[in-house]
Amino acid sequence: MIKSCSALKLKLNELNMLEAKYKLGYLKLAIFALMFLLCASFNNLLFAQTVIDTIRLGHESGNPIGPVALSVNDSTEKIYIANKDSGDITVFDGSTNKVINHIDVDDIPVALEANSTTNKIYVAGNLSHTITVIDGSTDKVVKTINEGLGSPLAIGINDVANKIYVVNSNNDILSVIDGATDEIIDEIVVKDLPIGIGVNTVTNKIYISYASSDALSIIDGATNEIIGSVIAGNNPEAIAVSSVNNKIYVVNSRSNNVSVIDGSTDEVISSVSVGIAPFDLAVNQSTNKIYVANVAENSVTVIDGDTDRAIATISVGDTPDGVDVNPVTNTVYVINLDDNDISVIDGSSDEVTATISFGHFPVGIGVNETTDKIYVADVLIDNVNVINAVTNETVATVNDGIGTQGIGINEDSNRIYATNSESDNVTVIDGASDTVIKTITVGNFPEGVDVNPITNLIYVANNGDDNVSVIDGATNEIKETINVGSRPDGVAINSDANMIYVSNTAGNDVSVINGSDNQVVATISVNESPFAIALNPRTNKIYTVNELAGNVTVIDGNIEALLGTIEVGDTPIGIGINPLTNRIYVANSQDDTVSVIDGSDDAVINTVDVNDHPVAIDVNTSNNRIYVTGMMSGDIVVLQDDAPFAEDEEPVVDEEEPVVEGDEEPIDDEDEEPVAQNARMDVSPAAASKSLKRQEAVVTLTGADGLPMAGVIVNASATNGTVVAPNAVITDANGVAVFKFKFRFNSIDGFIKFYTIDNEMSAMLRQE
C-alpha cells in the first residue's frame, strides 16, 4: 500500500511554500539515465504487464481542465461541464454537489446543452466537427453526429419542438437536428462568423449573434428562414431568453452591458450596465432574474427581469466564463475557468454557498482485496475516491480532512485510514458503508500510514514532527508516539514479525521499530531521499524508493542489513509489491513509467509506459492487477500482469502422509497404549477464506474419556504457510484453542498440523 511523497503530492499552488518552509529541496528534479536489464529471461518476455484500463478521476492537472460551458438538467438535478483541455464532460449531482461521472467525448468540447424533456445532452466538438449525444439516464454516449457539420461552437434547444440548433463557426451554417432521431434535417445559411444562439420557445424564434457584426439574425423556427435582424451592443456574444416576460438578453463583451430585446417586436428596449467583459448569462425562469458572468472582473451581475436593472454583484472565482440555473432548486452555477471549479449561488440570497473543485490529484492508493474496493487519496479536493475493482467505476466519494495523502487498510476490520497532511489528522472510514466514523488528531503533516492487522495498530508517519503516531484500532485513540528520523514519509509493516519500517526522506535512512514495545531497534542508511517503502512478505525484503537518487534500496528484513541497490526510472516515488508473483512495481514520476522488478534476483525486467506523473501503486494479488495513480493526469491506470505464481521451496514433510481429519488410523489397543491426552480433535473452519490471507482456526480437543481437556499446550505448524500464533494453552472447560494462521500467497490447499506433547493431527484447508 503506498504511501506518500512529501512535495509532489501537494497542491500545485502550495509546492513552493512547502519547500521554503522545510528547505529540504524536495522539488529538485534530478535527471538520471534509465537503466534496465537487456537480457530478459524467457519468462519475462512471455509474461508481460499490459495496461487494461484507465480509470478517470478528473482532469489533466498539469494542463488546466478548461471548463468552458455548463448546462443544468433540472429534471435530474445533474450539471454537465464541458472541459476543453481534458476533452471530457464532468457530471455533478446538484443535490450533493459531488462529482458522479466523467464522460469522454471527441476532441475539444466547447459547448453543451441539456434537453430536460428528453433527458439528452448535446456536446459540440469544435475540432472534430461532431455533436456527441449523451443519454442522461446512463450518462453514456449514445450517438455521434459527424456528417454535415462545420465547426460547432454553440448549441440551442427548443424542448417544445424537440429541435436542436448548432452554430457552425467555420462555414456560417446553422444546423437543425431532429431530437427524436438525432439526425440533421435542415441547414440555414447565416452571416459570417456566428458565435452565439438563443431560442425563444414561446415565439419559436432563434436569435444568432456574430463576431463580425453587432446585429443579431432572427430566424423563424417554423420555416427555418431569416425573418429579420436587430442591432445589439458592441460585440454581442451569449444570448438568453426569458419565457416569463418574452424578453431576449444579449451580453455585449466590449461595451460591458446587456441589451434587452422585446420578443414581440424584436426591438431593443433597454440596456443594462454590468461588469467588465461579460461573457455568458442565464435566466432563472422561476424568479425572473438574469445572471451575467463577467470574466475580467471575476463577478456575476444579477439583473431583475421585471425592472431590467442590476440589483447585485456577486464575487466568484477566477475567469467565470459560463453560467446556468436550476429554476427548480433556485440554484445558480458558475464555472471559473482558471480555478477549475464552480461557484454555487443560492438564488434566494444571491450569495455563494459552495465552491466545487472538479480537479483531481490522486496521490495515495490502497486495495482492499476482501471487498474488491480501491481507495484513492485525492490531495487537491481533499477526499477519498472509492472504486469498484470489478467494474473500475467510482462508487463513492468520502470527504475527509485537508490535504489527503496516504491510505492504510485493515482488511480484517474493514477499516480504511486516510492521512490528511494539512489538517494534521487521520480519517477512519468504515469500509462497509464507506462513511467516516472518526477523525483522529495526530502529529504535524502526517503522510505515510500502514496497518498491522494482527495487533490492530496503525502507524502514521508525521513528516513535520519527525515521529510516528501509533493508533489503537480498537479504540481509535493514540496509543503512543515514537521518535524516528528526519522527515518520515513512508511506513511498511511485517505483521508476522511485528516489525515496522519507516523511511526518513531528509535523513536518508530507515528507522526499524519493534512492534512488541514500539522501540526503534535499528537505523539503516539508504540512498538520497527515500520516500515510499514496502515490504515483501514472501522474502522478508524491504524496498525503499529513493527519489533523488533514482533507485531502489533493498534491505534484508531478517538481519536488517542492505542487500543492494536497483536502478530504476527518473524520480521514483511509489512502490507496490505482489508477493504472489514476487514482483515489485516502482512508479517513476518524471518519465511516466513503472519499473517491474523480479524479486528473485532484484533485477528490472520490464518498463511499462503509464499515466502522467505516476506517484502511487498498489496491487490486488487476487487478480494480479496493479493500480497506478497519475498525479498530473488525474486518473488510475490498471495493469494486468500475466506472470505466473512464483515457485516456493518444497515444504519439508514427514515421510508418512499427513493424516486428514476423518482419515485417522484406528488405535489398536492390543499393540499400543491409547493416547489419553488427545484421543480426538475437531478443527474449524474446514476451508480458508477467499484471499487466504488470514484465518482463525478453532481447535477442540477431547480426552480419551470423552471429557473436555484443560491445561494442555497445543502447538501448530503449516507445511506451506506461517502460523501466526505458534501455540495456545487450553484453559477453558470446553477445551478450545484458537490459532491464527496465514498461508503463503500461492497456496491452493495445504496442511496445518496441530499437536500436543504426545499426539499429532493434521487438518486440510482448501481455498474456496
- Interval 390-436: pLDDT, tens: 887 778 888 778 888 899 999 999 999 999 998 999 999 999 999 99
Task: Give me the pLDDT at residue 332, please.
Answer: 94
Task: Give me the pLDDT at residue 718, please.
Answer: 53
Does pLDDT of 120 surpass 80?
yes
Element spanning 22, H or E: helix 15-22
Does pLDDT of 46 surpass 60?
no
Q: Which residue has the higher pLDDT, 197 or 87?
A: 197
Task: Give me the pLDDT at residue 379, please.
Answer: 78
* Confidence band of 34 (pLDDT split at 50, 70, 90): very low
* Residue 455 near residue 494, CB atoms below 8 Å: no
Q: What is the chain's mean pLDDT, rounded?
A: 79
3-state secondary structure of 46: helix
726: DSSP letter:
-
Three cell numbers, residue 349: 440570497
535: DSSP letter:
E
Does pLDDT of 325 surpass 60?
yes
* Confidence band of 727 (pLDDT split at 50, 70, 90): low
Which residues lie closer than 8 Å to 76 by C-beta, 6 or more apart? 116, 119, 136, 137
Q: What is the pLDDT of residues 260-276, one digit of tens each?
A: 999 999 999 999 999 99
Task: Give me the pLDDT at residue 50, please.
Answer: 62
Q: What is the pLDDT of residues 341-373, one digit of tens each?
A: 789 999 999 999 988 765 567 888 888 888 888
* Confidence band of 739 (pLDDT split at 50, 70, 90): low
Element spanning 44, H or E: helix 42-46
* Weakest-pLDDT range from 4-8, 68-72, 364-368, 684-688: 4-8
Q: Which residue has the higher pLDDT, 182 or 633?
A: 182
**Which bin fits 171, alpha (ψ -120 to 50), beta or left (φ > 0)?**
alpha
Cα–Cα distance measured from residue 146 to residue 438, given in angstroms and rounded to the nearest whole number: 52
Task: Give me the pLDDT at residue 314, please.
Answer: 96
Three cell numbers, residue 524: 539503516
* Confidence band of 169 (pLDDT split at 50, 70, 90): confident
* Confidence band of 93 (pLDDT split at 50, 70, 90): confident
Q: What is the pLDDT of residues 221-261, one digit of tens each?
A: 999 999 999 999 898 989 999 989 999 999 999 999 999 99
Task: Give me the pLDDT at residue 267, please.
Answer: 94
Residues 303-326: what's their mean pLDDT? 94
Task: Give me the pLDDT at residue 18, please.
Answer: 34
Cα–Cα distance measured from residue 492 to residue 504, given in angstroms and rounded to the nearest whole number: 12
Note the pTM of the prediction, 2 decimals: 0.56
Task: Give me the pLDDT at residue 84, please.
Answer: 80
* Confidence band of 89 (pLDDT split at 50, 70, 90): confident
Half-sphere exposure at residue 645, Cβ-oriented, CA atoms within 13 angstroms: 13
Beta bridge partners of 625: 620, 640
Q: What is the pLDDT of residues 597-653, one digit of tens each?
A: 999 999 999 999 988 889 999 998 878 889 998 877 777 888 888 877 665 444 333
Task: Give me the pLDDT at residue 370, please.
Answer: 85
Task: Give me the pLDDT at residue 400, please.
Answer: 74
Three cell numbers, residue 168: 457552425
Cα–Cα distance measured from residue 249 to residue 272, given in angstroms and rounded to the nearest whole number: 10
Q: What is the pLDDT of residues 503-550, one digit of tens each?
A: 999 999 999 999 999 999 999 999 888 989 999 988 999 999 999 899
Letter string b/e over residues 352-379, b meaning 16 or more CB atoms within 10 A of that residue's CB: beeebbbbbbbbbbbbbbbbbbbbbbbb
User: Residue 706 to residues 290, 472, 670, 678, 701: CA-CA distances in angstroms?
Assistant: 87, 42, 21, 10, 10
Which residues lie closer than 8 Å to 84 by C-beta, 6 or more apart? 66, 67, 68, 108, 109, 110
Task: Give me the pLDDT at residue 394, please.
Answer: 79
Q: Which of 617, 557, 464, 573 is nearest to 9 (CA)?
A: 573
Residues 376-394: what's their mean pLDDT? 82
Residues 738-745: what's their mean pLDDT? 46
* Residue 598 near residue 605, CB atoms below 8 Å: yes
Residues 312-341: what's their mean pLDDT? 90
Q: Which residue has the higher pLDDT, 656 or 462?
A: 462
Half-sphere exposure at residue 3, Cβ-oriented, CA atoms within 13 angstroms: 32
Q: Which residue has the higher pLDDT, 580 or 599?
A: 599
Task: Report percent pLDDT > 70 for the chain.
Answer: 74
Does pLDDT of 31 surpass 70?
no
* Confidence band of 689 (pLDDT split at 50, 70, 90): very low
Beta bridge partners of 767: 688
